[in-house]
Amino acid sequence: MRVRKLGAALATTGTLAALGLGALSAPASAAESAKARPSCKVTWSDDRTAGIKCTGGGSFEARALCTNGKWAYTATTYAGTTAYAYCSSYGSYLVKKPQIYWKAWGV
């Protein structure tokens, strides 16, 4: 009986590991989470496009709000380079007043 329970427990643990779901994985510390978060800003814009640059944290994606209410997304880009969100892809313009509305996140 004991052998059967141990075998089932090991099989379950192996399945979890194969799925990348470690049973004893600890959450990331605050320092690790802060390190992975990129620091971003709008470095260029015109009436239809926002250029967003992030540093630190690896690759990132970003988005900018267009006047038709849609969000224009950038391609996944490496930190240290500028990614562009094109409202022209939606036949629209970039919302610029009172500011450019944008958001970026690490991937």
One domain for residues 7 and 52: no
Question: Mean pLDDT, the chain, as a whole number?
Answer: 77
Together in a domain, 100 and 63: yes
Domain enclosing residue 21, as ranges: 1-27
Q: What is the pLDDT of residues 39-50, one digit of tens each?
A: 999 999 999 999
pLDDT band (50, 70, 90) for residue 7: very low
- From residue 73, alpha-carbon distances to 10, 41, 50 in Å are 44, 15, 10
Is 41 found in the same domain as 82?
yes
Residue with tokens 């799925």: 19
pLDDT digits (tens, 9 = 90+) for 32-87: 444 567 899 999 999 999 999 999 888 999 999 999 999 999 999 999 999 999 99
- The pLDDT value given to residue 103: 92
User: Does 17 share its domain with 68?
Assistant: no
Lowest-pLDDT range of 23-27, 35-39, 93-97, 103-107: 23-27
Q: Residue 78 is encoded by which pair of tokens?
A: 């490496």
Question: Using CA atoms, how far apart are residues 72 and 103, in angstroms rounded to an integer?
Answer: 11
